[in-house]
Amino acid sequence: MSSQLNSIILPKIAVQQILEIVTPPDLNRGIKVSRWLQQYTDIQLEKINKGLIKPSTWQTRKNIISKINSVHGELELAKVTTKILKEFLDTYVIQGKSRMAQAVRSVYIDVFIEAAQAGEVDGSSNPASIVKNPTAKVTKSRLSLEQFNSIIVSQSYLPHKCSYLLALVTDQRRTDLALIRRNKGLDWDDKYKAYRNNPNHFIDPKTDYGSFVGLVKHAPYSFIQNNHLHVFQLKTGKLLKIPMELKLEKLGLSITDVVEMALIDQGSLFALHHNTARAQNNVGDPLHPDTIFRSFKRARDDAKIT
């Protein structure tokens, strides 16, 4: 009796096993965009913890994810088509926000890549990558030297004036300039080693996106030593060594000239620092990169430059 049952059952089991091998799984499981974005967020936070992406990158992605969720959250991820994506991107293009459309497309491409790796969608095609990348027209023009000088005149706060001049003479990013210290401290080597091991080692991705206060406390900084400006570029991780005598002839100023102009409070550790107490700062505190940006914009507007 048992041999007869086996002769009936075993062939069926074998057929079922073969079907499971040759039949692809149903990848369209109906997961909604909103649910997948929650999982995608967890993946990004883990990447920050491992130092694979920068907090500023995630901050931009997070804002875009919120926009995607508000528009497509109730859709099934596998049913988000190229047509749907193009219509979404076109809403930005029509408003003249082609750069934003490019950013949304880039994030959506990554969303589908991660979803395919997780088995949530078919990885043979990525609908976001098929959509043509919107063309962003350049609508801004470079400042002339005459315009820059007008902005300098419009800025009455000396520390900010010096920050603009130092940016122009060194051609470095504002955060790196704001972190410049007058000397290399004993803490620099340890900070550099920790940063090289994991640039996000001091960041809690759920609450902190690399605040300037955190950078001042933990990140390796630029410094002046042996008549050279040693620049540590936070964005690239590169170290540059620039002679302090480097001079921009059009301005008639060298790096040394600007740094000496900026050294208002001799007790400050920072080359660019406040000379008056403010709501969030004391005398000698470093200039915040965002404050430099906003003050430059105000000075530019005051100079009637559009």
In this structure, how many other beta carbons lie within 10 angstroms of the beta carbon of residue 69?
17
State the alpha helices, DSSP H only, in 118-254.
127-130, 145-154, 158-170, 174-178, 188-197, 212-218
Q: Any residues with CB less than 8 A from the CB of 167 and at least 6 apart, and which?
A: 174, 177
Report domain extents, the chain: 33-130, 145-302
Separation in Å, CA 263 to CA 99, 186, 272, 273 = 39, 21, 7, 8
**Tens digit of each residue's pLDDT, the chain (306 residues):** 555 555 555 555 554 554 444 444 444 457 999 999 999 999 999 998 888 988 888 888 999 999 999 999 999 999 999 999 999 999 999 999 999 999 999 999 999 999 999 999 998 989 999 999 998 887 778 899 999 999 999 999 999 999 999 999 999 999 999 999 999 999 999 999 999 999 888 887 777 667 899 899 999 999 999 999 999 999 889 999 999 999 999 999 999 999 999 988 778 999 999 998 877 888 999 999 999 999 999 999 999 998
pTM of the model: 0.76
Contact assessment for residue 244 and residue 255, using Cβ atoms and an 8 Å cutoff: yes
Contact assessment for residue 126 and residue 115, using Cβ atoms and an 8 Å cutoff: no
Q: Give me the architecture of the 33-130 domain, per CATH.
A: Orthogonal Bundle (1.10)
Same fold, 33-130 and 145-302: no
Distance of CA 157 to the CA centre of its chain: 29
DSSP 8-state assignment for residue 32: B
Letter string b/e over residues 34-61, b meaning 16 or more CB atoms within 10 A of that residue's CB: eebbeebbeebbebbeeeebbbeebeeb
Q: Give me the architecture of the 145-302 domain, per CATH.
A: Orthogonal Bundle (1.10)
Q: Taking the alpha carbons of 96, 128, 121, 64 in that order, is the dihedral positive or negative? A: negative
